[in-house]
Structure 1
Amino acid sequence: MGTPPSTVLVAGHESAGGADLEQLSALLPQSVVAAPGGPLARAVQRALTGSQTVAVLPMTWGRDPTTVAETARTLRWTVEAHGVPGRVALCRPFGSPDHLVALLRGIAVRTAADHRRAGMVIGAARADPRDDAELHRCAHLVRTHGTGLEIGVACLASSPDLARAVDRTRRLGARHVVVAPAGFATACPGVDELEDVEFSGPLLSPAVALRIVQHRTCAAASALARGDDGLAAVLDTDPQGKDARPHGPGRNGGTARTAHLQHGPRPAARD
């Protein structure tokens, strides 16, 4: 077997622009965290100097399709501009909305078992209206197929947003409220300031998240060896991907909301 590919974890609003991926990245040898656009293009170029192939993984539970599309467009530009076909692979996204709903339902079941008259608030950073609507859809599925808990949603843009969501859930009869993340958050600022409110913890342990990343990158590397870099599957369904010419990082190739994010290589994890 050849040398494992370097890994780039692509950050979006579900990972606080990359801040929530620090612990995971620390477990991955030869890994970086980058935003779509210029930071991603530069990260891939640097990774290619030390590795034959690079696997690029959009870190989303399916609520951030814009980041997936922007990642594909950035990689297309990088491959064409630097003449590196066959060396860069786009992985399938880390998770899907169905995975997210299943994990949140598990938290709801545990919450109902541990607390009488409990409620749950699903929290995530406020994004664009379509992504926020998907958050509400996921919450509805958790509520419908869950345990009868009251399920609220907090689209967090400021500290009072969480308190308001908790208050709404309490008005519906919940005495104890558990806040669960709809992303990669490992903590929830403000929870400790609210009475009878606790954070559920991250959706996945670092070890489980690491196994998913390894599975996604290995699958992408195998597909790349067969001539499939994963870009066509995304670009063919992206309105901009079909017709628009690829732009470099300095010309609409990045996003203003995340273009400043970039983290360096992480050392290999030690037992």
Structure 2
Amino acid sequence: MAPTSLPVMILGPSGTGKELVARAIHATSPRATRPLVPIHCGAVPADLLESELFGHLKGSFTGAHADRPGLVETAAGGTLFLNEIGEMPSAMQVKLLRFLADGSYQPVGAREVRQGDVRIVAATHRNLEAAVADGSFREDLYYRLRGVILRTPSLDERSEDVPLLASLFARRATDGQASLASSALQWLATRRWPGNVRELRAVVECAAALSPSGAAGITISAEGLAFAVGEQAMPATTTQRPHTLEEEVAALERRRITEALKRTGHNHTHAARDLGLSRAGLLKKMDRMGLR
């Protein structure tokens, strides 16, 4: 697939690494020495998308103070990555279809027709077949784009990858200093990841930034990960064990309260009942410990 010039369509939920797949396809293709140029079709206003792709001439519209090449020209000989192609406006779909048919295009404000040479890799989280059926996406464009279809599964469909990815993100975030405790790996395995790889990375990087550093480096705990997703209060910032009876009692009390809050979904009344406290008494202890 990569050595050919066939267009590629990458389908999958947001946050599953579709752009990484596109970059891998480009890097292993004969076009690897030329640019890979990405554009998010839903992030550019509809009236500017044509200019972004095909360029414009000076004076062609208000604010066009100079000729400007489009991304098709910038990516000449390389790959144009159309991210979230399903968000492209209908009027722009017609112009893209013409370009895909014979490589011809016109910059905004130009009369002459130019030729472009790019490989198209497109991606979307939308169901394009359903979009074709309801008329929001052109059927002829859909078949032009779907030379080869790749699917990126959600993270919940490949749960065995979670510990590998989490460990990778932890090392990258700390220059190789962080590792995940066994409790952290168990915590990761019990969660669902609706935000996919993007969510996992954000959680691990947040926990790594807040985890204390010891002689053996940074160890990310389950408590640190839980805090990163807002499930519990800030974990302790020291790795030292309590030395006095008072410190041990305080640590036990903090742990019991944190566990009760997590178990009851932060319902103060139910947590207090589980702990044998009044609600007011629980809130007073939480205030003292900084758990509110």
Query: Common fold, TM-score beyond 0.5?
Result: no
TM-score, normalised by the number of residues in structure 2: 0.30
Bigger relative CO (Cα 8 Å, ≥ 6 apart):
1
